[in-house]
Amino acid sequence: MSTAAAGGGDGGPRTAAAGGLLWGLVGVLAFSLTLPMTRVAVARIDPSVVAFGRMAIAGLVAIAWLAVTWTRRPGGAELRLAAASALGVVIGFPLLSTLALRSTSASHAAIVSGLLPFATAVFGVVLHRERLAPRFWAAAVAGSALVVGYAWTRGGGRLSVGDLWMLGAVVAGAFGYATGARLAMRIGGMRAILWSLATATPFTLPIAAASALNAPPHADAATWAAFGYVTLVSQLLGFFAWYNGLAKGGIARVGQVQLLQVFFTIGFATLAFGEDVAPSTWWFAAAVVATIAWGRSSRAAATSAPRWGEHACTATAARGIDS
């Protein structure tokens, strides 16, 4: 095996890191409309129907996809990772963020969700032993502090009930990202989210059906389009790119790109949905971009040692990443 094939050449790690960042950015753009679209959906559809309906429908699509493609069933360690990922990003984040958006705007919720990159980095270290340079942590803390400071000042010096729901969503989402990325290293980004969704479906489908019977949804075309977006793009397609990015470029490092999602979401909420946004938002955006660039300039690469009973070799990880 050549050095380049083994990932030891000069361009190998750098190419993988650049590819991870690109995939991550695609995922962030897909996720940027999630909160505004959820806000539109819950305006006319019961929040429980929105939250569990998106999970259940995406899960049924995933099961059908896996059945048609005759995809190999994951092993025991992989199923545990799929279940953990499902708990975080299939159930936890959609449910808690939907509850938050009953009482807060999409742009405000987006600010709180700016803590996701830092929380994802923490889970990457705790669960998967990623080792990161001090400069990375300094940049992560600085970027997160900017986001929290912005939320605090915009909220009049207090946190609302919606903020608390969003903080819970942040913890759930970060846990799901870290475990889903680890699964993507083994079986690929596409299979990772498909199996995560399929694993959760026996739980989400009955609740979605009961919620729909209890509060039958009646909405216009725009509301159903918003629901379709959070179901098929936010819950499914965006994760193909996002998990590939985390797997290729590192959970913590690529996770920092999600700091940009805050400002993409605010931009969409302003341009497409008419929410008022203060001009100072864009100064915060520039400062956050600067923290990402500073943290990325560190030459110390993130490394990790497997947990959760994993014993994947380099060849398996490389084979499992979807392009």
pLDDT of residue 197: 93
**pLDDT tens per residue, range 130-140:** 677 788 788 87
* 52 is a domain residue: yes
* 108 is a domain residue: yes
**pLDDT tens per residue, range 114-126:** 778 778 878 878 7
pTM over 0.85: no
Structural domain boundaries enclosing 240: 15-217+225-318
Is the CB of residue 151 less than 8 Å from the CB of residue 111?
yes
Give the count of domains, the chain: 1
Is the CB of residue 223 less than 8 Å from the CB of residue 111?
no
* 290 is a domain residue: yes
- Mean pLDDT is highest, among 189-193, 210-214, 310-314, for 210-214
Is the CB of residue 286 less than 8 Å from the CB of residue 223?
no
Residue 89 has pLDDT above 50, yes or no: yes
69: confidence class by pLDDT, cuts 50, 70, 90: confident
**pLDDT tens per residue, range 144-164:** 788 777 767 766 666 677 888
* 187 is a domain residue: yes
190: confidence class by pLDDT, cuts 50, 70, 90: confident
* 1 is a domain residue: no
* 296 is a domain residue: yes
* 10 is a domain residue: no
* 4 is a domain residue: no
Segment 42-61 mean pLDDT: 93
222: confidence class by pLDDT, cuts 50, 70, 90: very high
